[in-house]
Structure 1
Amino acid sequence: MSKIAVKFMPNDVVIDAEPGEPMLEVARRAGVSIPTGCLMGSCHACEVELDDGSCLCACISGIPGDRPEITINLFSDPVW
């Protein structure tokens, strides 16, 4: 499979990733911090929004492999 260009916003950082690669690992390699809580997808501290409008928990998600590039919008929650 080919690499996917992953863009993290609002940081405006782009990094190549493998389809299915853990999203938190890709963010770490890119120097982007995604807050985490339970690491099981229950607390939603790591919730991000994809460029197609879908929201998911980064701690239990891999990079989708259905397109050549993806934008991941990070939320800022002062509680976390």
Structure 2
Amino acid sequence: MAISIRFLPDDVTVEAQAGESFLTVAARAGIRIPTGCLMGSCHACEVEVEGLGEICTCISAVPSGQSSLTVNLYSDPSW
């Protein structure tokens, strides 16, 4: 079952599958999320997912049991 992922503030929506990396989904949608270590410890790729809280997209997967999710991207000019 496809899950609709909406990325703010760009207001871009893309379909994803449960278990797919948030970072991969964002790239497919044309959204660039800054990365650093790619292991979740530097938090460069941190975003806020409504209903789930803050996550590191490089190590977090789209959860099952959802029909849609909204991802709020942070803006950090140093990355």
TM category, shorter: over 0.9
In proportion to residue count, which structure has more helix? Answer: 1
**1:72 corresponds to:** 71
**What is the deviation of 1:33?**
0.5
In proportion to residue count, which structure has more strand? Answer: 2
Query: Percent of aligned positions with the same letter in both sequences?
Result: 53
- Name the aligned partner's letter for residue 65 of structure 1: S
| 1:17 and 2:16 aligned | yes
**1:35 corresponds to:** 34
Unaligned runs of 5+ in 1: none
Moved over 4 A (4+): none
- Normalised by the length of structure 2, the TM-score is 0.95
**What is the deviation of 1:44?**
0.2
Aligned residue pairs total 79
